[in-house]
Amino acid sequence: MTDAICLLHVDDDPEFTELTAEFIGREFDAFETVQAVDAEEGLAQLDDQPIDCVVSDYKLPGIDGIEFLESVRADHPDLPFIIFTGKGSEAVASEAISAGATDYFRKERIGNQYDLLANRVMNAVGASEARQRVKERTQEYRMLVERTPVPLLVVGNDHEIRYVNSHAVDTFGADKESDLIGEAVSTFVPESDVAYSRLEEAQRNGHPPSSPNTSSSISTATRDTDAGLSSQSPSVESRRRRSSSRILRNESATNAE
């Protein structure tokens, strides 16, 4: 989690936002609270500075908290957004979650509600940052895969192709990536090939022995074979022969799907 959390608190009761900022700031040094009295001011605050999490009342002047949430989601699809209201109901909670709210929290007349709110915010921000790191690593991985000058396939536990790089598209004579996604890997790598047997072994073991619980690759050289090629066009068959290929298997990514 970042060293400091910038929280935008939107509520039409400025005394309540001041009290919330005071309690949270006193108990948690990691918080900086920005306040707004309606959705319009809240959107302006989002434009003016980086915000890590939005906490909003449901009942607001003008548009309500759900409409405010929808406006925020248009420009900030991943920003943690918590509905914190004393006017809510199960129907409002369901509507908020359906609209993309990260969390829904009822205002209660209890002494620790600010501690509970702060914990909800920290959990939401921590989860958001973790997802962002995964996205960044995934993007780096995809860039690496695309730059690799050999055909690469990502194969799931069901032996279906989940991802291919542009070299694989060219090698197997396809027009685009979607032509290969969802196809059985045996269509392009015959079951008699050493690559297929290594994939089978890796899946039986749960992960490749050389790199447990992480992404790893099995480098192979696809043999010159006519097995399983009869249904392919001549261009596909000729481009597949004597081609270097590599099968990537990422069990953790597959299970997450």
Which carries the bigger pLDDT value, residue 112 or residue 39? 39
- Give pLDDT, residue 155: 84
Which carries the bigger pLDDT value, residue 151 or residue 242? 151
b (16+ CB within 10 A) / e for 28-52: bebbebbbbbbbbbbbebbeeeebb
Which of 36-40, 187-191, 226-230, 244-248 reaches the highest mean pLDDT? 36-40
Residue 186's identity, in one-letter code, is S
Q: Are 157 and 142 in contact (CB under 8 A)?
A: no
pLDDT band at 203 (very low <50, low <70, confident <90, very high): low
User: At residue 228, does pLDDT exceed 70?
Assistant: no
E strand residue ranges, the chain = 5-10, 31-36, 53-56, 81-85, 103-106, 152-155, 161-164, 216-221, 244-249
Q: How many CB atoms lie within 10 A of CB 23?
A: 17
- Give pLDDT, residue 194: 58
- Give pLDDT, residue 72: 96
pLDDT band at 17 (very low <50, low <70, confident <90, very high): very high
Percentage with pLDDT > 70 across the chain = 72
What is the residue whose two structure tokens read 């979607």? 178
What is the residue whose two structure tokens read 């074979």? 225
pLDDT band at 193 (very low <50, low <70, confident <90, very high): low
N-term to C-term CA, the chain: 25
> Can you give the residue ranges of every domain in the chain?
5-140, 148-256
Q: Are 42 and 53 in contact (CB under 8 A)?
A: no
- Give pLDDT, residue 28: 82
- Give pLDDT, residue 128: 92
User: At residue 237, does pLDDT exceed 60?
Assistant: no
Q: Please tell me what DSSP assigns to residue 35.
A: E
- Give pLDDT, residue 54: 97
Q: How far apart are CA 100 and CA 96, in angstroms?
A: 7
How high is the mean pLDDT of the chain? 78
Kindly state which CATH superfamily the domain 5-140 is placed in.
Answer: Response regulator (3.40.50.2300)
Q: How many CB atoms lie within 10 A of CB 81?
A: 23
Cross-sheet strand order for the sheet of 152-155: 161-164, 152-155, 244-249, 216-221
Average pLDDT rounded to a whole number, residues 147-164: 85
Model confidence over 30-67: pLDDT tens digits? 889 999 999 999 999 999 999 999 999 999 999 999 99
Pairing between β-strand 5-10 and β-strand 53-56 as defined by DSSP bridges: parallel
Model confidence over 156-192: pLDDT tens digits? 888 899 988 888 888 888 899 899 999 988 887 766 5
SS3 state of residue 130? helix
Instruction: With residue 170 as reference, give the H or E element that holds it.
Output: helix 166-171
Average pLDDT rounded to a whole number, residues 240-251: 38
Residue range 148-256 in CATH 3.30.450 = yes
Which carries the bigger pLDDT value, residue 142 or residue 121? 121
Q: Please tell me what DSSP assigns to residue 144.
A: H
